[in-house]
Amino acid sequence: MAFEITDANFQKEVLENNGVAVLDFWAEWCGPCRMIGPIIDKLHTEYEGKALIGKVNVDENSEIPVQFGITSIPTILIFKNGKMVEKHVGVTTQANLAQKIEAQLAA
């Protein structure tokens, strides 16, 4: 299961992270979020030790979605060295996300 990012640990785990962090903004009631959830969990396992793959429940954490203007879910944000470098709204494939992660790891 992907790492749980909350309003409380976001600063330490993402903004102070000197590497790549991928956040999936989701909610329990969101059908497309349930479709992408297993992909995020697989990426978490695949990139363990290389990148932080986390999930933000928008119903339980309101500060981060407001800070980054998240109005639709699922939304994937990719951070590099604490700065947001990419945003994807909607469902996508594991291969597409892996390609984006690899590009940031190589940069």
DSSP reduced 3-state for 57:
strand
**pLDDT (mean) for 6-14:** 97
Task: Indicate if the pLDDT at residue 105 is higher than 90.
Answer: yes
- DSSP secondary structure code for residue 2 in this structure: P
| Segments making up each domain of the chain, as ranges | 3-99
Catalytic residue IDs: 30, 33
**pLDDT (mean) for 19-46:** 97
State the sign of the Cα–Cα–Cα–Cα dihedral 50, 10, 88, 61: positive
**What class is the 3-99 domain?**
alpha beta
Q: What's the pLDDT tens digit per position in 52-91? A: 999 999 999 999 999 999 999 999 999 999 999 999 999 9
Task: Indicate if the pLDDT at residue 38 is higher than 90.
Answer: yes
Question: In the structure encoding, which two tokens stand for residue 3, read together?
Answer: 């790492």
**For residues 29 and 73, is the Cβ–Cβ distance under 8 A?**
no
DSSP reduced 3-state for 42:
helix
Per-residue pLDDT, 37: 96
Q: Which amino acid is at 96?
A: N
Per-residue pLDDT, 1: 82
For tokens 């339980």, the residue is: 60
Q: What is the CA radius of gyration of the chain?
A: 12
